[in-house]
């Protein structure tokens, strides 16, 4: 009797041990089957334009250098930088060095003033005034620079490998730093290549030139090509590795299962990216949220389905 009782009590802990292991295994299976809440979207098609974007610098092509015809002193300055002047507008009054010497001589029998009036030789804008009042100048010294407003252009340096996309007389878009956008026309190109950067220079005429400063850097957008009915997918649906070389999407293959599918991307258009391969059906659904960091196959719970655009 004692021996039999000992055997019965020895079996009881083993039964409880197996019961505990079974409970943990069942709990683990429930964790594996947990579903990730996600939202989904479908592909859509639209025409996509590809642009060449380069920086350009504003400049006045036609400038006139106002130089001193005498050696003497700047007696009076009639203009400042930024002034618009007309032809024959008085810019400077100069005094010859001889008249300055005679002016201080009390025994001078002559009464000439020695003042020279210097006038603008063209309509334009004063870009610079190079000498202050009272400054001594030599004959031929530059006193001011006048620019012709109608000669205002943007200078665009194009890498030689992109020259084939630039067509003379074609239109382009000029984006200014303040967000203002205006139209332009590709007017001409210079027949030389910059040795260091291997770029070719183009001249772009803007439609608007009022109050535009020189040396302003703007972004030029030139149309390269248009892809009709490109297959597009929202950017949030497309995932990538750390170096942005491999791309993939999580596609829904059933109501609760999504799988990883590598894709090849093309042009970007706003919030969409072109998918060049593989070929998807308009009815296919792709994870747009909750898709980050998932494995190759995952159980999901769709919260909302977006209709195709």
| Tens digits of residue pLDDT in 22-42 | 555 544 444 456 789 999 999
289: exposed, middle or buried (Cβ count in 10 Å: 0-12, 13-18, 19+): middle
pLDDT digits (tens, 9 = 90+) for 143-168: 999 999 999 999 999 999 999 999 99
Please give the model's pTM, rounded to 2 decimal places.
0.67
- What is the pLDDT averaged over residues 229-236? 94
Q: What domains appear along the chain, each with residue ranges and CATH number?
A: 36-48+228-305 (2.40.420.20), 52-60+150-226 (2.40.30.170), 63-147 (2.40.50.100)
Residue 212 has a pLDDT of 83
What letters, b where the CB count within 10 A reaches 16 and e where it falls short, cover 4-20?
eeeeeeeeeeeeeeeee
């Amino acid at each position: 009797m004692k021996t039999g009782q000992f055997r019965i009590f020895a079996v009881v802990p083993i039964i409880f041990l197996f019961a505990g292991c079974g409970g943990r295994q069942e709990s683990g299976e429930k964790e594996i089957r947990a579903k990730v809440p996600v939202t989904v979207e479908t592909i859509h098609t639209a025409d996509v334009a590809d642009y060449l974007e380069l920086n350009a610098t504003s400049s006045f092509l036609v400038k006139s250098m106002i130089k001193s015809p005498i050696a003497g002193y700047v007696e009076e300055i009639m203009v400042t930088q930024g002034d618009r002047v007309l032809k024959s507008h008085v810019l400077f009054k100069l005094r010859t060095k001889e008249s300055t010497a005679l002016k201080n001589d009390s025994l001078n029998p002559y009464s000439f003033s020695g003042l020279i009036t210097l006038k603008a030789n063209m309509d334009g804008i004063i870009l610079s005034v190079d000498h202050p009042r009272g400054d001594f100048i030599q004959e031929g010294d530059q006193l001011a620079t006048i620019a012709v407003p109608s000669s205002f252009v943007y200078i665009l340096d194009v890498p030689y490998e992109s020259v084939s996309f630039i067509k003379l007389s074609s239109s382009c878009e000029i984006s200014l730093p303040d967000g203002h956008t205006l139209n332009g026309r590709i007017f001409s190109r210079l027949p030389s290549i910059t040795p260091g950067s291997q770029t070719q220079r183009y001249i772009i005429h803007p439609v608007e030139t009022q109050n535009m400063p020189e040396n302003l850097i703007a972004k030029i957008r030139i149309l390269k090509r248009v892809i009709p009915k490109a297959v597009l997918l929202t950017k949030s649906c497309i995932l990538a590795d750390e170096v942005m070389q491999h791309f993939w999407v999580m596609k829904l293959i059933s109501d609760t299962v999504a799988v990883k599918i590598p894709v090849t991307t093309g042009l970007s258009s706003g919030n969409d990216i072109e998918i060049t391969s593989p070929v998807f059906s308009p009815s296919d659904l792709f994870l747009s949220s909750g898709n980050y960091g998932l494995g190759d196959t995952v159980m999901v719970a769709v919260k909302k389905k977006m209709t195709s655009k």
